[in-house]
Amino acid sequence: MLDETRLNSLGLPKPPAETRVVVAMSGGVDSSVVAAMLKDEGYDVVGVTLQLYDHGAALARKGACCAGQDIHDARRVAETMGFPHYILDYENMFREAVIEEFADAYLAGATPVPCIRCNERVKFKDLLATAKELDADCMATGHYIRRVDGPAGPELHCAADPNRDQSYFLFSTTPEQLAFLRFPLGGLASKAETRALAAKYGLRVADKPDSQDICFVPNGDYASVIEKLRPGAADPGEIVDMAGNVLGEHRGVIHYTIGQRKGLGIGGLGDPLYVVKLDPGTRRVTVGPKEALATRSVPVREINWLGDAPFASRPEWHVSVRIRSTRPPRPAILRPLSATTATVELLDPESGVSPGQACVFYETGGSRILGGGWIWRGH
């Protein structure tokens, strides 16, 4: 039996100086603080930054390479703290695993969440494999989430600061990945604490603003990115009501999302109308009253289960679920159909449930993430 007192702060049974940690560095303040903090504690830190895209090429104009600035910032942190730093070119991988699917999902009328796919397919898969090749004992990231050693193995829990919690974007982390990952910022009380640590270590990124947009979608303009990737994606079509009556013309299905009210261009028709269905095949956008958006039953697939007992070992699980990153968890009944598919019954109907979004499962009344999956049909 291992003497618990001999575990280091990362839960590994050897001194920090003999523990190699690969830190995934984005160039932002969070991952920079993780790298500096672990180096300060005496760990053998190796910084790795992924070059995922070239903004300059994506926008076809000079001086727009945010990716280059982030890489520069990460390298400077490594120089300040005195640990090696590597840049890995993952552009082709990122395009195939994340950007192409993002475009196709939008064309299919879904509302994708590419940050989850990036964590799942690039950072926690390929980068994690690279970390092992570098003989790392673990890989640390700047995500705001907690890893807790439970009786059945490592568990994923929400961050201590609910305003920074990133559990919605990390539900697809597998138990095997979780065994190797560490999230040193998950227990911090606030982002201010992170910035204070950056200042303490003399990092120039201490005041760097948080990134708000999806990294390859500058200024949140999804449509222009998709039009570049899929010419013809913005072909116009009809806006119809729920009975099929034509109310107007739209400028491309990709400009709309389920639950959208503004910018429909069909004002003056009495009660407010919302997008309730997108049909890329017929290029139709269907609108209706708010009550038409209410959804109680949500089909979910590609489920990653993090509970202790096998997912399909029970007919139902009483959980809380989050169907959008911006919404709080709500009570639901999770009914497995197979090891990776289920129907989620929301105890209170929600509006704006959209295919392509994630549905994340939480322990009722607790902080543990039990997994999640992808919403895949219309409501």
Q: State the catalytic residues.
A: 118, 215
Among 133, 73, 264, CA closest to 65: 73
* DSSP letter (8 states) at residue 280: T
- What is the spatial distance between Cα 272 and Cα 308, in angstroms, rounded to a whole number? 46
Backbone angle region of 219, left / alpha / beta, with phi > 0 → left and psi within -120 to 50 → alpha: left
Residue 286: CA count within 13 A, CB half-sphere = 15
- Packing angle, helices 29-40 and 191-200, rounded to 10: 50
Are the beta carbons of 368 and 319 closer than 8 angstroms? Answer: no
- For 120, how many CA atoms within 13 A lie in the half-sphere containing its CB? 23
Q: What is the DSSP-derived secondary structure letter of residue 210?
A: P
Q: In whole angstroms, what is the distance from residue 236 CA to residue 256 CA?
A: 12
DSSP 91-160: HHHHIIIIIHHHHHHHHTT----HHHHHIIIIIIIIIHHHHHHTT-SEEE---SEEEEEETTEEEEEE-S
If you compute the radius of gyration of the chain from its CA atoms, what whole number of angstroms results? Answer: 22
Q: Residue 312 in contact with residue 339, Cβ under 8 Å? A: yes
Contact (Cβ atoms closer than 8 angstroms) between residue 209 and residue 216: no
In the block, residue with structure tokens 């929400």: 158
Q: How far is it, in rounded angstroms, from Cα 97 to Cα 375?
A: 19
SS3 state of residue 325:
coil
